[in-house]
Amino acid sequence: MRYLSQFLYVISAKKFELILLLIAFLTVSLMDALGIGLVGPFMGLATNPTLIYKNVFLANTYRALGLKSTSQFIGLMGLTIVVIFYLKSFFYYQIQRYVFRFCFTQQVKLRLRLLHTYLFLPYTFHLKTNSANLIQNIINESQNFSYSVAIPLLGSISNLFVLVVLVLLLMKTDFAATVTVIGILLGTYLPFHLFRNKIVRWGKEGVEANTEMLRIVNHAIGGLKETRVIGCEEYFENQLNSQVNRFAKVATLFHVFQILPRITIEALLITFVVGLVSVSLLFEQRSQDLVSVLGIFAIASIRLLPSASQLMSNMGVLRNFKPTLDRLYMDLKEIEKPEAINYLKISQGFVPTKGVKFESQKSIKPMPMSFTDKIVIDRINYAYPEAASKSLTDVSLTLKKGESIALIGKSGAGKTTLVDVFLGLLIPQSGDIQVDGLSVYNSLRSWQNLIGYIPQSIFLTDDTIERNIAFGVPDDQIDQQRLNNAIRSAQLADLIAQLPEGTQTMVGEHGVRLSGGQRQRIGIARALYHEREILVLDEATSALDNETENLISKAIQDLSGTKTMIIIAHRLTTVEHCDRIYQMEKGQVVKCGTYQEVVLAQNT
C-alpha cells in the first residue's frame, strides 16, 4: 500500500483517468474469459453435435436461428468466438496504446514538476544537495519512473485482472485442476518473494552507480583544463570504471533473475497439461469431457502463461526500482517541509495546499517595490540548519539610495551569508530588512526585482552574448535599446565591435571563449539590462588581473550615484571609492566608517 500511495503522489493524473484504466483492464479480462470460456463448449460440440439438444440454451438458440443443420450452428458459434477474440485483441491494443501514452505523458509532467519544485525549494536545500543528483532525477529517474514503475505497475494490475478472471473460469471448468494450477503459480512465486530484499538492494546500487557516473563525468569534463594540465585523466577513468562495473554487476543479476519466472512457469504448466491428460485417461469417467476441459485449459494457458510470467517479472521490476520511486517521492515531499512552506509563504506569497499539486498553484503576482530613500538591515540573526552556532549575530547597517558600501573581513566572517540574506535566498531567524520603512518580507519577490547580483564566477549559458545579457528573456521580447545601453555602461562596446557576429557571438560552455574580465562585464551588463536599482557584487574582481580589475572597477565607479551598490571584496583597493566600509568578524559588524577610517587606520 505504501508503494501505491507513493506512486499516486508522484504522478499528476486525475482520479477519473485511473478509474477509466481499471474499468478498461476489467473489460478486457472479461472478454478474454468469455472467448476462452466458449472454446471448450465449441470443441465439445464439434466432436459430439448431439450435445446441442441436451443444453436448454443451445437448443433454444438453435431453433430460434432456424438453421438447417447442427454443422451450420457449430460453424456460426465458431465464427462468433473468432469475432469476440478479434474485438478483444483490438480493444487490448487500444488500451495498451492508452497506457503508454498515459505513462509517457506522466514522464513529461514529472520532469516539469521536479524542475519546478527544485527551482522553488529553499536555497539551503541546494547547499546540501549535489546538482548531479537533481539532474539525475529530472532526466534519468523520471524516465525510469515511466519505464520501470508506471508501466510495470499498470501492467501488473492488468495481468492481475486477467489471472483472477481466468482462474474463476477454470474453477468452473475443473476445480481440482485449477487448484493444481494455482499451487504451481504460488510455488513459483514463493522463491522470488524470498529474494525481494536483494532485488531492492540491486536497484538501490544501480541508482547510486548511475548518479556517481554522472557526477564523475561532470567533474572530469567540467574541469577539463585542470584535468589535462595536471594529467589526472586516469584518476577519473578509474573512478568511472569502478561505477560502470558496479552497475553492470547489479544489472546483470537483476535481468538474469527476471527471465526465471517465464522459464519456470512454462515448464511447470507443460508438465501440468501432460499430467492432466495422463491422469484423465486413467479414469474413464473423465475421458468423456477431456477434450472440452483440455481445450479450455490449453487456450487459457496461452493467456495465463504470459500474464503470470509478466506479473512476476513486473513485480521484480517494481521492487528493483523502488529506490527510484523513494527518491522522487522524498524530493517532491521537500516542498511540504516547514522550512520550505515558510520560504514559499514569504518569497512567493502562498502556502502549498494539502492535496493539491504544488506546481498547479500560482503565486501572487507582486506589486513593484518602490525605493526612494534607504534600506535598513535591522538586527539580522541567521544560523544554517543543524549548525552549532550562528553565522550572523545582530547585524545592522543602513544603505541610502545611490550609495555604495563595502563588506570586508576574513573568510568565514559572514559576508557571503549576509549577502545571501540580503538577496532573499536565506530567511533570517530574526531581524528585518526594510525599504523606505516597509519590510521586504511582505513581498520578497518584489524586493528581489530590485536587485542585480554579480558573483565572482558569472554563470553563462552556452549561447550568444545577447541571450546571456538578456538572461531569461525570450528572443522576441529582447529590448535592443536597453541591450545597447547595458553594453555601453558595462564597458563592453569595444569588445562587441571587434567580434564579427557582434552580440550573436557564441560564448561557449561556461563562457570558455571569453576572458575572465569579459565574463564579469557580461554579468554587469545582465544586471543593467534587467534595470535593477541595487547591485550586489560578490568578489566580482578578485580573480582578475590588475589591468582587467581596473577596467571592471571603472565600469562600477561609472555607476556610482545612479545605482545603489553592496560590494564584497578581499582586495581593499577595489572598495576605495565606496561611501562606507563595514568590517565583519565572526558574523558581526565590528567596525564601520569611511575607507580612511576603517582600512587606512588599521594599516597605520
What CATH code is carried by the domain that includes residue 478? 3.40.50.300
Amino acid letter, 4 = L
As a whole number of angstroms, the distance between CA 514 and CA 465 comes to: 10
Instruction: Tally the domains of the chain.
Output: 2
Structural domain includes residue 366 = no
For residue 357, the SS3 value is coil
Segment 46-66 shows an average pLDDT of 78
Segment 547-572 shows an average pLDDT of 74
Residues 36 and 131 in one domain: yes
Amino acid letter, 540 = A
Question: In 321-437, which ranges are continuous DSSP H helix?
Answer: 322-333, 338-347, 415-422
Q: What is the pLDDT of residues 504-522, one digit of tens each?
A: 988 887 788 888 788 888 8
Residues 311 and 188 in one domain: yes
Residue after which a domain boundary falls, among 285, 304, 334: 334
Q: State the pLDDT confidence band at 291, using cuts at 50, 70 and 90.
A: low
Residue after which a domain boundary falls, among 334, 359, 387: 334
As a whole number of angstroms, the distance between CA 149 and CA 320 comes to: 9
In contact, 262 and 231? CB cutoff 8 Å: no
Segment 315-331 shows an average pLDDT of 87
Structural domain includes residue 482 = yes
Q: Number of C-alpha atoms within 13 angstroms, CB side, residue 14? A: 4
Residue after which a domain boundary falls, among 334, 349, 384: 334
Q: State the pLDDT confidence band at 260, using cuts at 50, 70 and 90.
A: confident
Give me the percent of the chain exceeding a pLDDT of 70: 81
In contact, 460 and 467? CB cutoff 8 Å: no
Q: State the pLDDT confidence band at 17, using cuts at 50, 70 and 90.
A: confident
As a whole number of angstroms, the distance between CA 199 and CA 192 comes to: 9
In contact, 272 and 149? CB cutoff 8 Å: no
Structural domain includes residue 199 = yes
Q: Which of 43-57, 110-124, 434-448, 581-595 has the lowest mean pLDDT?
A: 43-57
Segment 488-494 shows an average pLDDT of 84
In contact, 297 and 276? CB cutoff 8 Å: yes
Residues 308 and 381 in one domain: no
In contact, 496 and 487? CB cutoff 8 Å: yes
Count how many residues are written for the chain.
604
Residues 317 and 440 in one domain: no
Residues 279 and 213 in one domain: yes
Residues 169 and 219 in one domain: yes
Cα angle 516, 519, 524; round to 5: 125
For residue 346, with 0-12 CB atoms within 10 Å meaning exposed, 13-18 middle and 19 or more buried, which class applies?
middle
Residues 318 and 404 in one domain: no
As a whole number of angstroms, the distance between CA 544 and CA 550 comes to: 9
Structural domain includes residue 361 = no
Structural domain includes residue 488 = yes
Please give the pLDDT value at position 588.
92
In contact, 503 and 483? CB cutoff 8 Å: yes
Give me the percent of the chain exceeding a pLDDT of 90: 8
- Who has greater pLDDT, 58 or 206? 206
**How far from the centroid of its chain's Cα atoms is residue 344's Cα?**
20
- What CATH number did the domain enclosing 263 receive? 1.20.1560.10
Amino acid letter, 326 = D
Structural domain includes residue 355 = no
Residues 320 and 399 in one domain: no
Structural domain includes residue 60 = yes
Q: Give me the domain span that covers residue 596.
A: 374-603
- Who has greater pLDDT, 474 or 307? 474
Structural domain includes residue 500 = yes
As a whole number of angstroms, the distance between CA 58 and CA 542 comes to: 94
**Ranges assigned E (strand) in 180-329:** none
Please give the pLDDT value at position 99.
82
Residues 226 and 274 in one domain: yes
Please give the pLDDT value at position 430.
92
Instruction: Please spell the DSSP secondary structure of 398-416, one letter per residue.
Output: EEETT-EEEEE-STTSSHH
Residues 286 and 379 in one domain: no
- Who has greater pLDDT, 601 or 157? 157
Q: Please, what's the b/e burial string for 146-157 (b: 16 or more CB within 10 A of its CB; e: otherwise)?
A: bbbbbbbbbbbb
Segment 419-435 shows an average pLDDT of 91
CA distances from 509 to 211, 223, 368, 496 (A): 22, 12, 34, 19
Please give the pLDDT value at position 552.
65
Residue 365 has pLDDT above 60, yes or no: no
Residue 356 has pLDDT above 70, yes or no: no
Mean of per-residue pLDDT scores for the chain: 80
Residues 317 and 207 in one domain: yes
Segment 495-509 shows an average pLDDT of 87
Residues 86 and 138 in one domain: yes
Q: What is the pLDDT of residues 208-257, one digit of tens each?
A: 888 888 888 877 877 776 677 677 788 888 888 888 898 888 888 887 77
